[in-house]
Amino acid sequence: MQRKSDDIYKLFSIRDYNYSSVFRSIYNSSLSLSEANIKWEDNWVAMIDSMLQLNALRRIHETVSQPHFVRKIIIDVNKHFDEMYEIDGIKVTPARIFDVLDYTRCGGIILRNIRFHDLPTICTNFGVKALKFVPHFSTNTIDKASALSTYIQISAENLNKHDLNIVEIIENSVSEFVDTNQMLPEIPGIQANYSVITNYSLKKSNTASFVDSV
């Protein structure tokens, strides 16, 4: 057995699982997680849960896999205690996952045809976007940020491009769109490279030839 209990539950923690007390019962396992020793805590629920944990950790999924279905559970109490032995004074029972036959066995417990539901990755940085109709000639006032966003999207449609080079020409080193860099990533379907240049610097450089929108 190559993986120790602490290493195994660190892997669980990375995937957003949080096990404690008797539910940290996997004593050690092979690198492939197909074989393990599970501690006997005088708790059948914890033992069965550890078998499910072993299967969940083997899944190729970045976060929580939730048990969804188990076709059959068999418990042979006498056989379970017959297969129990001690490692460093701790009672353990050997567990093994049989992929071909689709069952997991630990002592006298057999779980057949375990199925999981993979929960989506938790995203803490998200926003809601909505489509909004903007008339060619509006009678209502519109703030600078909305006007700039609309103008950039119209430019992208007319140029038939998703990657735009945008330059703001300023006077006296003062920008009128100070929050542009924060706003651009929120425009759906457009990757914009934004920069600021003074009118004097523009005349001296060849920047205009690489610009899509000013």
In contact, 208 and 202? CB cutoff 8 Å: yes
Instruction: Name, in order, each residue with C-beta under 8 angstroms of 18's C-beta and a sequence gap of 6 or more.
Output: 12
Alpha carbon distance 180, 168 (integer Å): 10
- Chunked into runs of 10 residues, the chain (214 residues) has average pLDDT values of 90 92 94 95 94 94 90 96 94 96 96 92 62 66 74 79 77 67 71 74 61 59
What is the model's pTM? 0.57
Q: What is the pLDDT of residue 73?
A: 96
pLDDT given for residue 165 in this prediction:
79
Alpha helices in 15-110 (DSSP H): 44-57, 77-82
- Domain boundary assignment for the chain: 3-118, 144-210
Q: So what's the pLDDT on residue 137?
A: 67
CA end-to-end distance (rounded Å), the chain = 64
**What's residue 86's pLDDT?**
95
Superfamily, domain 3-118: Polyketide synthase dehydratase (3.10.129.110)
